Structures are given as structure tokens and as C-alpha cells.
Amino acid sequence: MMWIFLLSDTFIFSCFLIAYGTVRMSTTIPWPNPSEVFALTIGGTHVPLLLIAIMTFVLITSSGTMALAVNYGYRKNKMVTFWLLLATALLGAAFVGMQAFEWTKLIVDEGVRPWGNPMGAPQFGAIFFMVTGFHGTHVSIGVLFLGIMAVKVLRGNMDTGKPGFMTGRKQDYNMVEIMGLYWHFVDLVWVFIFAVFYLW
């Protein structure tokens, strides 16, 4: 079922990215240069795309800890699975935090709005907030469910095979794998957003 959901989600995100491509191609006003828009100045030096690069590394790291959590889940190692899930959730939360910082910087300091911005094509804001907002929502929901899953693992629900919430089905470590599928998918979407939106 998770695969079916992810397939449908693939189409949703693809529609967004194709819409972005079409909009960017059709505008006669120059598109703002993402390399400049998302640059950070640290200690007087101007580094392009730094925050986005850090966000990318954080998300990949969280994907790594998630993969390890699934592996330790199958080994029925309760505590390690719990800590790895928690680490994944914290990295995800850090990602959302950095995204909030990025949005604040764009909205407050640079005056980017969904209907216009000082740097160029007005469609930039609309597409940017839509795509990254939708992805950020996915990450936030993922963090929430990672937290729930971590608590379930810690309680030992997977070991005792206790029925889950509002279902008679017994819980087991496959749930961690399915959680992992969702989380890796969120990372996967970011790979595409990073490439076509930020690097283009």
C-alpha cells in the first residue's frame, strides 16, 4: 500500500515540477538566479546555495539513519532501532527548521511574495512556496510519524505483537520498513527539487 501511495505522490510532485518547468520556460522576464537568491554571507564571504547544501546533507544523513533503523529493526534490536528512529526524526526536524529560516529570510528580508519579488519573474515566489511548502509538509508529517514509531518500538509493541491503534493487525518490525519507504521517498523528492529548482 505504501508503494501505491508513493507512486501517486510521485505524480503529484512531478506535476509541480513540470508546472515549474513550463512556467519558467514561458516567462519573458528573467528568472531570479537561485544561486544568488539562496546565497549566504558567512564571516564576510559570499557562499552560494550554502544553506540548501547543508539541508541536502542533513536529509541524506537522516535517510542513512533510517536505513540503519530498518536494518536493526529486522535484527529485533529494540533500543538501537529506537535511537536511530529518534535521530532520523531530529534530523528531519532540523531540516524543517532550516527551511523555516530560509522562508523567513526570503519573505522578510528579500520581499519575495507568491505574486512577485524584486529579483525577476513574479512566478518565482508562487512556484517556490508551493513546491518547497509541499515538500516541507511531507517532512513534517514524516517527523511526526517517526516520533510515533519510535515510541511504539520503545514500548516493545513490535516484540509483543500487540494490535495497533484502531486495527486488529499485530504490530511488527515491518512497520519500521514501511515508515522507511515513506522517509526515503521524501529524501528522493528533495533530490529532484534540489537538482531542478536550486541548481538549474
Partner 1 sequence: MSSNEGQQHPLGIYFQIWILLFALSAASYMVDYMQFQGYLRWFLIISFMMLKAGLIVAVFMHMLWERLALVYAIIVPPLLLLVFVGIGTLEGDYTFLTREIFFAGAE
User: Can you give the binding site for partner 1, defined by CB under 8 A?
Assistant: 2-3, 6-7, 10-11, 14, 18-19, 21-28, 35, 48-49, 53, 56-57, 60-61, 63-64, 66-68, 71, 74-75, 173-174, 177-178, 180-181, 184-185, 187-188, 191-192, 194-196, 198-200
Tell me the CA end-to-end span of the chain in Å, nearest whole number.
Answer: 34
Task: Give the dihedral sign, CA 24/28/33/38.
Answer: negative
For residue 18, the minimal CB distance to partner 1 (Å) is: 4
CB of 110 to partner 1, least distance (A): 19
User: What distance in Å separates the CA atoms of residue 32 and residue 175, rounded to the nearest whole number?
Assistant: 43
CB-nearer residue toward partner 1: 151 or 199: 199
For partner 1, the closer of residues 35 and 104 by Cβ is 35
- C-beta of residue 90 within 8 angstroms of C-beta of residue 134: no
Q: How far is the CB of 177 from partner 1 (least distance, A)?
A: 6
- Any idea which residue has 529532484 for its cell? 192
Comparing C-alpha atoms, which of 94, 100, 126, 132 is closest to residue 113?
A: 126
Task: In angstroms, give the least distance from the CB of 3 to partner 1.
Answer: 6
